[in-house]
Amino acid sequence: MAVGKISIYPDRVRGLIDPKVYGHFIEHLWTCIYDGIWVGLDSEISNIQGIRRDVVEALRRIEPPIIRWPGGYFAELYNWVDGVGPRESRPVRVCPTQPNGVETNQFGTDEFIRLCRLVGAEPNICVNTSIITPREAGFWVEYCNRRDTDYAKLRVRNGNPEPYNVKYWSIGNECYFMYPPVDYATRYLNWRHFMRNADPTIECIACGIEPIYHPKPWALGDWGEEVVKMIQSEMEYYSVHVYFSSGSEDKFSDEEYYHLFAALENRLTSSINRVIGILDYYTQGKNVKIALDEWGVWHPGHDMKGNMTQKCTLRDALFTACFFNILHRYPSKIGMANVAQTVNVCHSLIITDGGRMFLTPTYHVFDLYRGFKGSQSLEIKIESETFKDPLHRYTERKIPHLSASAAKSGNGLIVSLVNLNLDEEIDCEVELRGSEVIGGVRRILTSRDVRDVNSFETPNRIMPKEEEVKIRGEKFTEKLPPHTLTILELKTRPTPS
């Protein structure tokens, strides 16, 4: 049996955790939209104005704060005017991201906003920078947010009299694959000018790049730093995409398991710190937030040429929990994160096939972390046995077997504890400095094997289990089984003097 300790300091607040770090991403890719979300009004599958009822109900439960759409790569292929107006009149276009090679445009701006309203999420629209003009991008903002222009009147004619008031607009997707930094920065500033002319209250997300992982494209040093140097404070968010992989989806070795978590800790923290340094240096005192608006585990063998639906194991769920625990260290700097993707693609929460649907273990992590939204991230100290990256691809840095975070919420605390050890239970001492526990709830997510999955046949194989916390006092010991996420929602009070 291993031992560990987490010390929590309720009076040392790092900052408020932005609810948008638990955001979502949906794209016209594989079956994410068509089958996964949109089935049409005439479908035999139960739906709400064409949107799958089961998916809506599942998303409502986890209260998604924001949803990014329409891409992704698809965003750079998309002309928004194709997706508005009577659906029977919308054009069908050639589309390499769809399984059948065509985009029907049945799910467009109005349908996306409807989905967001149904599940209580803010919309985040990613604007094309390659086949539409900056003026046409401004028209899209008019369509969504104005009352008094021709495009606003088009929205009204399409049956939507009230403005959508879309606040968050991404300008381009992974533009480092298309433009040198000076070209993208010039485009970004032009697009921003026309879009903010249409609505000066919108917040723009500039396309960035992960500085540690990616090579130096265009032989011009770091692509992202060059962009930030040019646009400086003319952005509200800076986008970084982070994907991880280690072995196959459900047949990975123990070494590949540990490598994934070593990569997450080493690479993600290094990248975040580097981006913070770039933004602080160039943005003239403006607190530009980081938007990790695509993130997840992307397993080998799943690409746009084939099946994008992965088996999502308990390992993926534990990765999700550790990812959130890292973000909780940077509450004043990270303003958004969008898992890729919500339905049927890569790091999914929901899998559908025709009328069938099940929830992956990752879905349950999002559910378990709801209490962290808008809470005060607290300083903690972790003491734990460690491991090194067994594949030695990053550093010799030692990684704790225990991942944790804590936050103050209402009259209590919420604590996340992840035991990454595949074989040993951790006896984890939890110490509250200046407060004591007077009760609460414990929720545990685990399974017999870290390679286990939910499926259509066994949809409830991996489910959270809940029990009452009967402990009292400033210190207590949690027994953390191997490869387990434990969430503690604790009622507390100040320690008597």
- The residues carrying an active-site annotation are 174, 294
Identify the burial level of 344 via C-beta atoms within 10 angstroms of its C-beta, where 0-12 means exposed, 13-18 middle and 19 or more buried: buried
Nearest-5° angle of CA 187, CA 193, CA 199? 135
Q: CB within 8 A of 65, min separation 6: which ones?
A: 19, 20, 22, 23, 121, 122, 373
d(CA 372, CA 413): 9
d(CA 223, CA 214): 9
Identify the burial level of 120 via C-beta atoms within 10 angstroms of its C-beta, where 0-12 means exposed, 13-18 middle and 19 or more buried: exposed
Q: CB within 8 A of 164, min separation 6: which ones?
A: 113, 123, 144, 145, 155
Q: CB within 8 A of 131, min separation 6: which ones?
A: 76, 77, 79
How many other CB atoms are found less than 10 A from the CB of residue 148?
A: 7
Identify the burial level of 79 via C-beta atoms within 10 angstroms of its C-beta, where 0-12 means exposed, 13-18 middle and 19 or more buried: middle
d(CA 385, CA 4): 7
d(CA 158, CA 170): 24
Cβ(205)–Cβ(239) below 8 Å: yes
d(CA 476, CA 429): 6
Q: Which of 181, 172, 168 is nearest to 73 (CA)?
A: 172
Identify the burial level of 84 via C-beta atoms within 10 angstroms of its C-beta, where 0-12 means exposed, 13-18 middle and 19 or more buried: buried
Q: Is 21 helix (H, G, I), strand (E, B) or coil?
A: helix
- Tell me how far CA of residue 78 lies from CA of 93, 108, 170, 278, 429, in angstroms: 10, 10, 14, 31, 53
Q: Which of 364, 366, 243, 239 is nearest to 308 (CA)?
A: 243
How many other CB atoms are found less than 10 A from the CB of residue 219?
A: 7
- Tell me how far CA of residue 372 lies from CA of 40, 47, 137, 315, 489, in angstroms: 35, 31, 35, 21, 10
Cα 34 from chain centroid (whole Å): 21
